[in-house]
Each structure stands twice: as C-alpha cells, then as structure tokens.
Amino acid sequence: MSKTTLAIIAGLSAAAGSAATAAIYASRSQRKEEPTPTVTPKSTSTIPSPPPPAPLPFPLRKDLLPPVNPTGVFQYGFPGPINDLRPTLSTASSFDRRTRNPAWVAEHITRDSINANNADRRHSIFVEDETIPEKFRARLHDYFRSGYDRGHQVPAADAKWSQDALNQTFLLTNMCPQVGDGFNRDYWAHFEDFCRRLTNHYPSVRIITGPLYLPRRDPEDGKWRVSYEVIGNPPNIAVPTHFYKVIFAEDGTTGGDVSLGAFVLPNARIDNEKPLQSFEVPIEAIERASGLEFAAKLPAPRRKKLCEEITCSLLVRDYADRHKNLMGAPPPNKIGAKSSL
C-alpha cells in the first residue's frame, strides 16, 4: 500500500477512508465443505460488565416535566444492539448478531503457550455456539457448499497448550466466511504464523482479529457502496469484504513499551509475494471502519510502531506442510540489527 493510500485512509472520513482500503481487491475463490454435527460447548468464564453509558451531549432540564416516556418501552425488553461477550479458555470475543460473525476476537500468546504440545486438532470439530440465542446463531449448514472456509479468527495453532482450549477455537463464534485457496489456506495462514513468531522476540503478544465490511466505488456512477454476500439457506451469515488484525507486542515490563501493528487484508486470493507491509494501516483507520476502539487507554509515550521495531514479512510455507507440522515447534528466530520475522 502506497503512502498516498495510507494518507487517504488516515485523513478522510470513515466512509472514504475505509473505501480507499476496500477498493484494493474484489475477487474471491470458492471451496466446498461438508457439514459436521452440532456439539454443545462448555464455558466456565465470567462475562465482564459492560462499560458505563456515555453522558448526554446536552443537560437535562429539571424544571421540565415531559408528557411522554420513551424509555417506557423497555418494560417489554431492550431492543439492542446486543453484542454477546463470549470468553473461552483461549479467546475473548464479541458476537455481532446482525452479521452472525464476531465483531472482534482477542487472544494472548507467549513463547511458552506456542511451544506447548498438549493438543491435536484432529480431535476437534466445528461446533455451533449454543450460548448465542438460536435465531441469531451461525449454523454449520450455512457454510455447506457456500464456497467459503469456516475461517478461524483466533487460529487453532495458537491454542495447542490445551485440548479444551484448542476445541473452543472451533466454535462458530470464532469463525467468519473466508476465501479458501489463496487466502485462508495461504496468505492468511502465513500471516497467522508471522504473529506466532513474534513471541520469539516479545514475551507477550496480544492480538485482536475481526471482519470488516468496506465500501467500493461503483464504476458506473462513481458512488461508494457497501455490498457483501450472505450465505446460508435462508441467508444468514454475512461474508466480510476484509479482515483486520491489531497486534500489541509487549516488552514484558509493567507500564512498558507496546509495539502496535494494524493490518487490513481483503477477503480474496492474495499472491504470497505481496509484502505484508502493503496491508499495514493506521490503527485509527480500523477504528473508524469498525466502530471499535483498541488502544484508548494506551498513552502515546508507551506506543512503538511494530514494523519499525522488527521486519514485518512473511515466511511462506506450503499449506499442506504447515498443516502436517501444526504440532511442531515454531521456526527459529531470525534477529539481526533489526529483528527479522
């Protein structure tokens, strides 16, 4: 991605900034998948309390008695939107009921957690998340013959320190429809491997991953529109146009430096020769496009730029070999004057 494109994303409004990124790719490939049985997952984590509501932008007049009560409708139920917080052993996520995809999924990895070999994905199966109300739930049959992979947001390889932890990465609340050949099984997989190899240089790495639905310019009238496929019968799960990762590479000290990296990749086939840094964007661009905030409590003096601290590049492997060696140790670190990953 050129500096001009980055400047556009950083400087323009949410729609225009996101659209600049969205216009990069449009193609996709397809893959057939077979349905698997539904298994009821278990969760022992406690859901955190939501943040307090923001103050009103104008003061309330205490001397005025309104003749109406708009909030009285809450006696019948709160309309929402409701983002189901879903903590598991290996992830924490917020589920978007409208798209049937997670809005974000967070994970924490260390060198010890990545080096652990206590689980085997061959014992795991994709499962529907029964903590989500049935009418808003993503279904296994939605993916059947859709042409898309059930794409992990937190990869299974990041949770092999425990079979239970690895199993929970197969919940559909950790999945989004992803293009298979050329993306989920290729470039995206290499990107996930890059994130794991960060633990060779940083003692603690936290990652937030999620989908985006970005606008594209119509070639006929020049207007920007958001358009995405919906899979399932009846249509149920939105197909994201893009995916993001926000990376927090911590130096391991209390109040220490945090190297930030933010990337947006199209949900499309990507040539493995494409430089990873061509997908690097300001974190603010992802915040505007997603409506989320990632580092509001991280002061500027503690922030470092990840790709200025290490070399942000992929180690391209054959997918079959990567899958075969999933339980193996991560590749050796390559650190020079500027650490290479």
Residues with catalytic function: 152
Query: What is d(CA 305, CA 308) in angstroms, rounded to the nearest whole number?
Result: 5
Query: What is d(CA 35, CA 48) in angstroms, rounded to the nearest whole number?
Result: 33
Residue 77 neighbours by CB under 8 Å, 6+ apart:
none
Query: What is d(CA 171, CA 235) in angstroms, rounded to the nearest whole number?
Result: 20
Q: Closest by alpha carbon to 188, among 157, 226, 229? A: 157
Taking each helix axis as running N to C, give the angle between helix 14-22 and helix 283-290, from 0 to 180 degrees, rounded to the nearest 10: 110
Per DSSP bridges, beta strands 334-335 and 310-311 are: unpaired
Q: If you count DSSP H runs as helices and E runs as strands, how many of each does the chain have, helices first?
A: 9, 16
Query: What is d(CA 291, CA 230) in angstroms, rounded to the nearest whole number?
Result: 21
Query: What is d(CA 204, CA 201) in angstroms, rounded to the nearest whole number?
Result: 9
Residue 100 near residue 138, CB atoms below 8 Å = yes
Taking each helix axis as running N to C, give the angle between helix 3-11 and helix 14-22, from 0 to 180 degrees, rounded to the nearest 10: 150
Cβ neighbours of 88 (radius 10 Å): 26
Helices (H), 183-282: 187-197
